[in-house]
Amino acid sequence: MRTVAVVGASLAGLSAARSLRSQGYDGRLVVIGDEPHRPYDRPPLSKEFLAGAVAEADLALETDGEDLQAEWLLGARAAGLDRMDRAIRLTDGRQVRADGVVIATGAAARTLPGTDGLAGVHVLRTLDDARGLRDALALGGRLVVIGGGFVGAEVASTAYALGLDVTVVEAAPTPLAGPLGEAMGGIVSALHADHGVRLLCGVGVKGLGGERRVDAVLLEDGRSIPADIVVVGVGARPNVEWLEGSGVALDNGVTCGADGRTSLAGVVAVGDCASWYDPRAGVHRRVEHWTGALERPAAAVAALLSWGAVEPGVPRPPYFWSDQYGVKIQFAGHAAGADTVTVVEGVTDDRSFLAVYRRAGHPVAVLGMNQPRLFTRWRKQLSVATP
């Protein structure tokens, strides 16, 4: 390959670019990013950066003096992929021809319909999002977080520490039931009540009050929650619209094999937009976690450079962490499909314990709250223990 284009300049794209060079690719490398920023770390956006504990410079993912000998096209959004001409079309009219393509366009935060232009309403996905929300939180007031997932919970925790009045609204009966299961989701989300943050579950949002600026969150049961700031944390959608009609198979992201290969030769996908095949479960999954964006590009790049000459391996079980109210939460594996979950160390009421999820007696996932050492040991076992 004479030219490889990496479409996406966040962690997954940077990891792919690094893997290309470390695996011996010495041709032209073009990295395309729709944001104007160099690659930056996203996990601190909802925690340390939002609290003002770290500066923008601390978010940089590139090391001092790192030079991948790449052409960086930043502030350039992909508009299409022409498989005949092997070209990525950009919204500004330019084209980048490439023999190989790494799709790493990530995902975008979902918004509430009808909230465009209403001041005081925020999402949190990008550095620019975090800048605006940080400035808003600095003014204090009443914050309502719509969505009790991990990003919403981290924002609530950060805002609580900053002295704001915080309410979390979750449509599901139990927050975090999807990734953690109902029992453990309830235990982890109880951190809100532990710290005086109101948690309203099992009720949807009907709309927002206010003409030019939000002043309330209107619930479907008729209640109205006063709000000076609203954060919408209701998940993300993969950025794959630009690939429609390209020949790349799409289904809740880019459909990939177990090594990131897509339906189009010479094209692989990584990161939040990629739905990799999971041989263990026999299904495709999108893994929206930092470790996936860091680790999986190496396998995808190997597949791109060899294209079928190497059998795909089995990806490591996904891993993510969260810091809320001073508690470190770590999870690895898949809770879905587990038939039991058992606390093997500590006490749930103390918010310091380790729980193991099993299916037919085999460990398939592990959850730790303030148990980093024990969790690390179990995570290592999980890769070989999962059937």
Q: Does 101 lie in the same domain as 36?
A: yes
Neighbours of 152 (CB within 10 A): 24
pLDDT for position 384: 58
Q: Does 155 lie in the same domain as 60?
A: no
User: Phi and psi of 172, rounded to 5°?
Assistant: -75, 155
pLDDT for position 260: 96
- CATH code at position 155: 3.50.50.60
Q: Does 242 lie in the same domain as 96?
A: yes
Query: Which pair of tokens denotes residue 21?
Result: 């060079």
Asked if the structure places residue 176 within a domain, the reply is: yes
pLDDT for position 282: 86
Q: Does 153 lie in the same domain as 68?
A: no
Q: Does 251 lie in the same domain as 142?
A: no
Q: Does 227 lie in the same domain as 164?
A: yes
Examine the fold and report which residue of 177, 198, 232 is the final residue of a domain before the chain moves on: 232
What residues make up the domain containing 242? 3-108+236-306
Distance CA 267, CA 301 (A): 10
- CATH code at position 333: 3.30.390.30
Distance CA 101, CA 387 (A): 33
Distance CA 257, CA 325 (A): 38
**pTM for the predicted model, two decimal places:** 0.94
pLDDT for position 387: 46
Distance CA 22, CA 102 (A): 16
Asked if the structure places residue 313 within a domain, the reply is: no
Produce one character per residue of 55-93: b if its CB has 16 or more CB atoms within 10 Å, e if not: eeeebebeeeeeebebebbeebbbebbeeeebbbbbeee
Produce one character per residue of 236-268: b if its CB has 16 or more CB atoms within 10 Å, e if not: bebbbebbeebebebeebbbbbbbbbbebebbb
pLDDT for position 93: 96
Examine the fold and report which residue of 217, 232, 247 is the final residue of a domain before the chain moves on: 232
Q: How many domains does the chain have?
A: 3
Q: Does 116 lie in the same domain as 185?
A: yes
Neighbours of 209 (CB within 10 A): 16
Q: Does 121 lie in the same domain as 169?
A: yes
Asked if the structure places residue 312 within a domain, the reply is: no
Query: Which pair of tokens denotes residue 214?
Result: 């939000």
pLDDT for position 279: 86
Contact 124, 150 (CB under 8 A): no
pLDDT for position 37: 97
To 10 degrees, what angle do helices 127-137 and 150-161 make? 40
pLDDT for position 310: 66
DSSP 65-110: T-----EEEET--EEEEETTTTEEEETTS-EEE-SEEEE---EEE-
Q: Does 182 lie in the same domain as 151?
A: yes
Asked if the structure places residue 318 within a domain, the reply is: no
Distance CA 269, CA 160 (A): 38
pLDDT for position 315: 74
Walk along the chain (387 residues) and give the pLDDT tens digit of each residue: 899 999 999 999 999 999 999 999 999 999 999 999 999 999 999 999 999 999 999 999 999 999 999 999 999 999 999 998 889 999 999 999 999 999 999 999 999 998 888 999 999 999 999 999 999 999 999 999 999 999 999 999 999 999 999 999 999 999 999 999 999 999 999 999 999 999 999 999 999 999 999 999 999 999 999 999 999 999 999 999 999 999 999 999 999 999 999 999 999 999 999 999 988 778 999 989 999 999 999 999 999 999 866 677 667 888 999 999 999 999 999 998 899 999 999 999 999 999 999 999 999 999 999 999 999 999 988 865 544
